[in-house]
Amino acid sequence: MTHMTDAKPNAVTPLHGTRAATASPSGAPAASAPPADTMIEVRHVDKAFAARQRKAAPVRILEDVSLSVADREFVSILGASGCGKSTLLRIVAGLVPHDGGEVRVGGQRVSQPLPEIGVVFQSSNMLPWLTVRQNLMLGTQLRKIPKEKSEPRVAALLEMLGLAQFADHHPHELSGGMRQRASIGQILALEPKVLLMDEPFGALDALTRDNLNVELLRIWQEHRQTVLLVTHSIEEAVFLSDRVIVMSARPGKVEQEVAIDLPRPRSPQTIKQHPRYAGYIAQLSQLMGVY
């Protein structure tokens, strides 16, 4: 779901959750129910980790984090290193337990990994002794998806990702960018409704990263999963997203939300020349303390 608003690039919305609370008859704020099209709902989530030193107080990573992501929306999370962005993503994925609050995906409470959720990390998850095709097929085999369904799906993904000619190569024979495309293909082969991405291109050079941003946007525009992306790149967040959520320093809280009112479909040639693009970059840079 693309948010096209009349908001100006310099308009900032203070945020304690992405949707405003309604008032109860007594006048006290009441938590509003998520809209019907909400896919990811995070409500008042806290997280702390045990300190390394014995008897020291736990280290608070996240504090009262609330946000929501609509079905088929692309949302990015920005924040300083150590603010808990990746921890939050792992909590949504069901990989890390939270200490308080609630997380739902597709209306289902998350307490463990769900088949509706696919996760892409910065490092490739491919097994080195399998070919690219075999790596993409592996998840479908573990979920016992029939070959007559999974094989055509994987073949189409290899073509779409520009990896058809490398289907029988092993991961070490691929470039870093190709390995990350294959990692995305591993997840897409399972047809998740939600795609969680933790700095998937952070270890790549700038040119490869820019090219893969274009590929990711093309994939999303074709498949339209709900995407929650953690990134350190302001430019990446603006180029890809419908909304950008800015988190505070640790303990991480949701501080601001910026709706990215740029037309879709997007390409670097058109979006980076758009008069509002530079304004969003400047706005988010200021929020992030870049200048």
User: What gap in Å lies between CA 220 and CA 215, rounded to an integer?
Assistant: 9
Domain that holds residue 81: 13-111+226-287
| Amino acid type, 10 | N
Over 90: is that where the pLDDT of 124 sits?
no
Structural tokens at position 189: 């082969």
Collect all residues with Cβ–Cβ distance below 8 Å to 44 and sequence separation of at least 6.
64, 65, 66, 100, 101, 102
pLDDT band for position 64 (50/70/90)?
A: very high
What pLDDT does 116 receive? 93
What pLDDT does 32 receive? 43
Residue 57 lies in a domain: yes
Residue 126 lies in a domain: no
Residue 246 lies in a domain: yes
Residue that the structure tokens 């998840």 belong to: 139
Residue 210 lies in a domain: no
Let me know how many helices (H) and strands (E) the chain has, helices first: 8, 13
Over 50: is that where the pLDDT of 38 sits?
yes
pLDDT band for position 194 (50/70/90)?
A: very high
Out of 13-17, 184-188, 202-206, 253-257, which region has the weakest mean confidence (pLDDT)?
13-17
Residue 240 lies in a domain: yes
Residue 216 lies in a domain: no
The 10s digit of each residue's pLDDT in 69-122 is 999 999 999 998 889 999 999 999 999 999 999 999 999 999 999 999 999 988
Residue 53 lies in a domain: yes
Q: Cβ of 269: how many Cβ atoms within 10 Å?
A: 7
Over 60: is that where the pLDDT of 67 sits?
yes
Collect all residues with Cβ–Cβ distance below 8 Å to 289 and sequence separation of at least 6.
80
Residue 32 lies in a domain: yes
The model's pTM: 0.84
**What's the CATH code of the domain at 232?**
3.40.50.300
User: What gap in Å lies between CA 11 and CA 190, rounded to an integer?
Assistant: 39
**209-218: Cβ within 8 A, 24+ apart:** 209/233, 209/236, 210/268, 211/177, 212/177, 212/180, 212/181, 213/239, 213/240, 214/267, 214/268, 215/161, 215/162, 215/181, 216/184, 216/240, 217/265, 217/266
Over 80: is that where the pLDDT of 269 sits?
yes
Out of 47-61, 116-130, 167-181, which region has the weakest mean confidence (pLDDT)?
47-61
Domains identified in the chain, total number:
1
Structural tokens at position 106: 């597709």
User: What gap in Å lies between CA 8 and CA 221, rounded to an integer?
Assistant: 25
Give a three-class secondary structure readout of 63-83. Answer: EEEEEEEECCCEEEEECCCCC
- DSSP label at 165? G
